[in-house]
């Protein structure tokens, strides 16, 4: 018996509304940046432990502006922190939604794959008497394995 982890369907109107909502989100979040892998690796990260350090440092610098050189923009750092505080809850909601969407994608794919495997097993058993052998063979290419090339033997070290 095939699994059925999820049954899901969306109307054309729902899909159109989802697409429009995504377009609106993209427009409203147009200021987001895209970093390549190297950029992401180079950047300092503000994790949970660093967050309090950063906040306290900004407060100290705001209260002692005479030590901040003109080349450093305290106002920009404060604006970045405010933007981060505004954006983080939105990012968390988007991440949760994306994770649920990915889990749903996996569940739907698993349901289809499980059903297809059960159907293929039926073709193997009952398909011969129904004239479906050629179709079963065509489907069997999914399970074809590439021939392995034997590994070269390891050279034996000569005794000294």
What pLDDT is recorded for position 30? 97
- Answer whether residue 53 is part of any domain: yes
First to last CA, the chain: 64
Range of the domain at 55: 48-143
3-state helix, strand, coil in the chain (%, to 5): 70, 0, 30
Banded pLDDT at 2 (limits 50, 70, 90): confident
What is the per-residue pLDDT for 1? 62
Which has more confidence, 147 or 102? 102
Q: Is 18 part of a structural domain of the chain? A: no
* Whole-prediction pTM: 0.76
Question: Is 42 a member of any domain?
Answer: no
- Per the structure, the count of domains in the chain is 1
* pLDDT tens-digit readout, 45-82: 998 889 999 999 999 999 999 999 999 999 999 999 99
Instruction: Identify whether the C-beta of residue 81 lies closer than 8 Å to the C-beta of residue 56.
Output: no
């Amino acid at each position: 018996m095939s699994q059925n982890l999820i049954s899901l369907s969306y109307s054309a109107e729902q899909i159109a509304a989802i697409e429009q909502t995504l377009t609106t989100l993209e427009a409203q979040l147009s200021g987001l940046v895209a970093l390549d892998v190297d950029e992401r690796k180079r950047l300092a990260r503000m994790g949970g432990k660093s967050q309090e350090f950063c906040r306290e440092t900004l407060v100290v610098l705001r209260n002692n502006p005479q030590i901040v050189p003109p080349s450093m923009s305290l106002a920009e750092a404060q604006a970045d922190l405010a933007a981060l505080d505004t954006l983080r809850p939105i990012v968390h909601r988007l991440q949760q939604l994306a994770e649920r969407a990915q889990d749903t994608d996996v569940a739907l794919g698993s349901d289809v794959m499980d059903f297809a495997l059960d159907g293929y097993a039926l073709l193997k058993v009952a398909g011969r008497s129904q004239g479906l052998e050629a179709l079963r063979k065509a489907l069997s290419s999914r399970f074809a394995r590439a021939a392995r090339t034997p590994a070269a033997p390891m050279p034996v070290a000569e005794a000294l």
